[in-house]
């Protein structure tokens, strides 16, 4: 025993000599059995608000397996900084969390490292990394749990549970049926709310969107409210006039109702009489628009719209007629189209005579235009390519497509205005028809 005591004293003295003048107690003595080799490990630091009784050489565990140890504990301000040495083969994200736990109820403390439940980083924990104060914590101590339980049982809420239960019994005594009915109704209400949960959430989201919109338009709403004040004051000042106006409007409504009821039958009859007119307009179809177009410029053709301005006509016409121009073209105009002469002995029809005359106002053309059958044949001949330049067909083709029986009147109006035949009794008289 004396030899053992001297050996321990010798080791202690040697340690003191090697460490100089600083000695912080037994924690400065080198201890065997480190769970991690310094050459096969990396070192990280963790900030703790409270480290309890964690000391150097306390184990570091991952999933209850020792993977390292605490190498240093130091105070930094109002919290502690713990240096951890972890084996190289331990893979953890660099945003790992650290907790101080204990092996059993009265067991030793250790530092537990683990990945966060969500948002784990892709980078690995390595040499020099730091675990911030927000990612560390500790389990409650047994003394804290027992103290809280003692406070609860002695002067906490448990002391009032008896009073609460007694008062509830007093409230419910004799009202069991009503409470049972209330609970049944409450169950129905909760069930209805649960079935309409999606609608309620949608309504709340719409309300949130509306609130955000109103908040974004706060300046506009404020300006509108500022303007509303004077407007309301004006309405208040004109209150009597507004009441009189509404009273008069009510009387007008009564009179209007009486008038509508009294004239209902006449209005219906008027609409019924208007029906045949609308039917005829509908039957006119595409022929109505060209007729209205011609009616606007009557008695002048549409081409004269640039001559007549309002109720005034200011224009002059200079005509230079030369037979050479008509026969040979005169170098400036196209000659007259060749006139097809019939074979000797062939009898010319009235339509052919009209075409050969080249004048829509000739006697031959008057006879054709006065007869609907001959007019139809003339229109058919004018559709041929060889008659497109014939002056009779040129005039006839400028007239819009109308019913055959209306065509002589339209041609009479046009030609009567152009040639100044105001003495003609009717439009048909221009073409030899009945005056």
Q: Are residues 37 and 97 in the same domain?
A: yes
Which is higher by pLDDT, 48 or 108?
A: 48
pLDDT of residue 416: 56
Better pLDDT: 93 or 376: 93
> What pLDDT was estimated at residue 157?
62
Predicted confidence at residue 303, as pLDDT, reads: 61
Distance from the Cα of residue 18 to its chain's centroid: 81
| CA nearest neighbour of 126 among 162, 157, 95 | 95
Question: In this structure, are 13 and 55 located in the same domain?
Answer: no
Mean pLDDT of 198-223: 92
Most confident of 17-21, 52-56, 354-358, 423-427: 52-56
The reply to whether 288 falls in a domain is no
Q: Total domain count for the chain?
A: 4
Task: Answer yes or no: do 328 and 402 share one domain.
Answer: yes
In the listed set 108, 143, 178, which residue is the last one of a domain according to the structure? 143
Report d(CA 114, CA 116) in Å as an integer. Answer: 7
Asked whether residue 272 is domain-assigned, the answer is no
Are residues 83 and 23 part of one domain? no
Say yes or no: 122 and 39 in one domain: yes
Report if residue 21 sits inside a domain. Answer: yes
Cβ-based neighbour number of residue 217 at 10 Å: 12
Whether 149 is in a domain gets the answer no
Minimal CA–CA distance to 129: which of 24, 45, 17, 249? 45
* Residue 44 and residue 70 share a domain: yes
Per the domain annotation, does 278 fall within a domain?
A: no
34 vs 50: CA distance, rounded Å? 25
Query: Given a cut of 90, is residue 60 above it in pLDDT?
Result: yes
Q: Within a domain: residue 413?
A: yes
Q: Domain range holding 19?
A: 1-30
Q: Which two tokens stand for residue 73?
A: 């504990």
Q: Are strands 41-48 and 130-131 parallel, antiparallel or unpaired?
A: parallel
Residues 39 and 133 in one domain: yes
Residue with tokens 């606007």: 296
- For 424, the 3-state DSSP assignment is coil
Which of 223, 243, 262 lies at the terminal end of a domain, its last residue?
Answer: 262
Average pLDDT, the chain: 77
Distance CA 238, CA 235 (A): 5
pLDDT at 116 over 80: yes
């Amino acid at each position: 025993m004396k030899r053992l005591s001297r050996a321990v004293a010798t080791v202690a003295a040697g340690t003191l000599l090697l460490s100089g003048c600083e000695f912080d107690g037994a924690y400065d003595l080198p201890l065997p059995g480190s769970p991690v080799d310094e050459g096969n490990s990396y070192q990280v630091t963790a900030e703790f608000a409270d480290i309890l009784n964690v000391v150097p050489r306390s184990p570091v565990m991952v999933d209850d397996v020792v993977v390292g140890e605490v190498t240093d504990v130091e105070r930094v301000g109002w919290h502690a900084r713990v240096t951890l040495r972890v084996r190289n083969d331990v893979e953890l994200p660099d945003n790992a969390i650290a907790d101080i736990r204990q092996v059993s109820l009265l067991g030793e403390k250790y530092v537990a490292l683990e990945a966060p439940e969500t948002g784990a980083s892709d980078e690995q924990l390595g040499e020099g990394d730091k675990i911030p104060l927000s990612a560390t914590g500790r389990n409650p101590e047994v003394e804290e749990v027992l103290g809280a339980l003692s406070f609860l049982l002695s002067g906490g809420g448990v002391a009032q549970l008896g009073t609460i239960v007694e008062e509830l019994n007093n409230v419910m005594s004799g009202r069991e049926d009503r409470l049972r009915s209330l609970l049944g109704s409450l169950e129905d209400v909760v069930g209805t709310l649960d079935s309409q949960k999606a609608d309620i959430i949608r309504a709340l989201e719409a309300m949130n969107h509306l609130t955000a919109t109103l908040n974004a338009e706060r300046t506009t709403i404020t300006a509108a409210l500022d303007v509303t004040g004077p407007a309301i004051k004006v309405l208040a000042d004109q209150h009597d006039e507004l009441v009189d106006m509404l009273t008069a409007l009510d009387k007008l409504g009564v009179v209007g109702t009486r008038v509508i009821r009294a004239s209902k039958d006449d209005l219906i009859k008027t609409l019924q009489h208007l029906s045949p007119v609308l039917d005829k307009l509908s039957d006119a179809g595409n022929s109505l628009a060209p007729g209205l177009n011609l009616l606007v410029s009557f008695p002048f053709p549409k081409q004269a719209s640039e001559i007549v301005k309002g109720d005034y006509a200011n224009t002059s016409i200079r005509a230079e007629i030369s037979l050479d121009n008509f026969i040979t073209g005169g170098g400036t105009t196209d000659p007259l189209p060749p006139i097809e002469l019939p074979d000797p002995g062939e009898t010319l029809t009235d339509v052919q005579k009209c075409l050969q005359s080249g004048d829509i106002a000739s006697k031959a053309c008057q006879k054709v235009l006065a007869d609907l059958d001959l007019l139809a044949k003339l229109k058919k001949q004018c559709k041929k390519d060889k008659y497109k330049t014939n002056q009779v067909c040129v005039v006839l083709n400028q007239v819009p497509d109308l019913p055959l029986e209306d065509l002589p009147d339209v041609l009479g109006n046009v030609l009567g205005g152009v040639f100044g035949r105001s003495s003609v009794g009717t439009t048909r008289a221009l073409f030899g028809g009945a005056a």
